[in-house]
Structure 1
């Protein structure tokens, strides 16, 4: 895409969107996910958001499950936009470039991109700043553990930013706290995630966080099989059934609440003028909690310290990434 085309998006699409979104007779929203919505995890979160928009706003909705294929992304965006869908959510950073390519041809459609910082005309990023919650996990790991491990899917900005938050949180407690980090190169290979986690644990990691979308469960399986001495946090969805003794707490996002809020504004003609960032300040969207049922629960004094840090992050007093 040329600079000129991006400039046209940035200067004209928002005005067109305001006019068309405000007068749309029927709200139609589509979802593109990079995998199956039947599995707990990232794709299910996007699907739940779509269903919330359907129930709360009376929208006509549709979704499509795709493999990691930019050509398929672009085709799906074009198909839905041509069918008159007002809002299309590409659920993942990997959809960003395809949305930009299509948006120029469909200025009356709002393209929302999860885990993206973009704002170019009618392409708007919805970024849940997971580095904030991961910062809190890093604090806990450095307080209670000896060495931490991070298992990622692919080395893309949303996962890198989350891990950066974890590292910064741990280093705020102990600058020399050891942390291992690896990526399995995909979001589907549960066995690879499990093997990477087991390898880290064999090298002394006693606190491990997997973050690999559909493959994430493999990391929790490794943690569970390694005994109650390995700590973890359940992220995005509830994995406590996989590792009930190990999960010290949960980081979940009610992404559906955030997406519905944004789509409701678009429905009323109020298109966001910047990318949207959800964080610990948005208590209806981001929740971080502890579990008493773990084999070794987080002590009360550490919980209190984490709560105070969380408040400072929400107030903007602590920056969790990009320092």
Structure 2
């Protein structure tokens, strides 16, 4: 089950115009939110972002919260959704595109529960996508890579739309500077194998990549370990969380997704009886959610002239003047 292209485009137009329609669910007195994560929340990166969002809802909205850590198993996804929904949870966040199908299978049986899916463009009934357009900050990284490097490498977890879109943004950013800028791309096939991420990164570095970005959830740290072993020769950006302790001499800047702010905003509207009728997309225009910055404490950091160029590009992306994805 997927949203049609026409409905998706109409949804984006409604979001841009600020004309979301709303419906009112029937909620119990105690507002409850559950979270499903594909791994451990103790790891810096994607899973921790989901956990921080849950804790933000607990702190700011006074909700009763719970979470479950899962492996990549669709059957366990469906069971977890059903467990929370049957216990009267008002909102359940499946933190990743891979939870979308399971939510669609369960949602019809629990019409009073809102199922939120991270990194998704879905909107069917009470299943709503919350997409952070990572192609936008990755476009900025690609721009810097092409201005400062000779060849880039991208190491992903699984070849799923959110990671593909991020890498698409990187490639478009780099090729806006140099259409022939060489970029290698590889996927390790999971989000947990730190060694595989490290080995794929080392392979790209051995083939001449002097700018590399890993994007593999819990396995991401393996990529930064490989980058750190290069000394200061390979540059990168820290994504989703702060990995500067892993590769202090290599990270030029940080893309930090304060996803909690966006999730709290959406969940509050649901708590108030207003369920968005379209998928939600956060971008560089949402400065409280997507934060992109340069480091001043790293040797051979991004020069002032390139920083100025990037700030100009960033403003144009936020204004909708530059498209970071091929859609």
Q: Same fold per TM (> 0.5)?
A: yes
Task: Give the drift of 1:304.
Answer: 0.6
Q: Give the TM-score taking structure 2 as reference length.
A: 0.93
In the other structure, the counterpart of 2:161 is 157
Aligned residues: 311
Task: Tell me which residue corresponds to 2:142.
Answer: 138
SS across alignment from 1:284: coil
Structure 2 alignment gaps of length 5 or more: 4-20
2:182 equivalent among 160, 166, 178: 178
- Structure 1 residue 210 and structure 2 residue 224: aligned? no
Matching of residue 303 in structure 1 with residue 307 in structure 2 = yes
C-alpha distance in structure 1 between counterparts of 2:154 and 2:203, whole Å? 11
Q: CA deviation at 1:17?
A: 5.8
SS of the residue aligned with 2:141?
helix
Deviation of 1:2 after TM superposition, in Å, equals: 11
Output aligned runs, 1:1-323, within 5 Å: 18-21=24-27, 24-323=28-327
CA distance in 2, matches of 1:86, 1:16: 16
How far apart are residue 227 of structure 1 and its match?
1.3
| Alpha-carbon distance in 1 for matches of 2:38, 2:223 | 20
Deviation string 1:109-134 (CA, Å, 9 cap, x unpaired) is 00000000000010000000000000
Offset at residue 43 of structure 1 (A): 0.5
In 2, the alpha carbon distance for the partners of 1:177 and 1:318 equals 19
> CA offsets per residue over residues 10-69 of structure 1, 9 Å max, x none?
xxxxx9961314xx3121000000100011111110000000000000000000000100
Q: What is the CA deviation profile of residues 215-274 of structure 1, one whole-angstrom value per residue up to 9, with x for unaligned ones?
A: 000000000001101100000000000000000000001000000000000001111111
**Whole-angstrom distance in 2 between the partners of 1:114 and 1:79:** 19
144 and 181 in structure 1: CA distance in 2 versus 1, 3 angstrom threshold: same
Structure 1's consecutive aligned runs of 4 or more residues displaced over 4 angstroms after TM superposition are none
Matches of 2:326 and 2:30, distance apart in 1: 41
- Residue 288 (structure 1) shift: 0.2
Distance 1:17-1:83 versus aligned 2 partners, 3 A rule:
farther
- 2:129 & 2:262 partners in 1: Cα distance? 12
Q: Distance in 1 between matches of 2:124 and 2:164?
A: 23
| Range with bigger deviation, 288-297 or 205-214 | 288-297
Question: Aligned partners of 1:266, 1:82: CA distance in 2, in Å?
Answer: 19
Deviations 1:280-322 (A, max 9, x none): 0000100000001222100001001100100000000001002
**Aligned partners of 1:244 and 1:293 also within 8 Å:** no
1:65-121 CA deviation, whole Å, 9 max, x = no partner?
001000000000001000000000000000000000000000000000000000001
Q: Secondary structure at the match of 2:299?
A: coil
How many angstroms apart in 1 are the aligned matches of 2:65 and 2:201? 38
Specify the alignment match of 2:8 in structure 1: none
- Partner SS state of residue 19, structure 1: coil
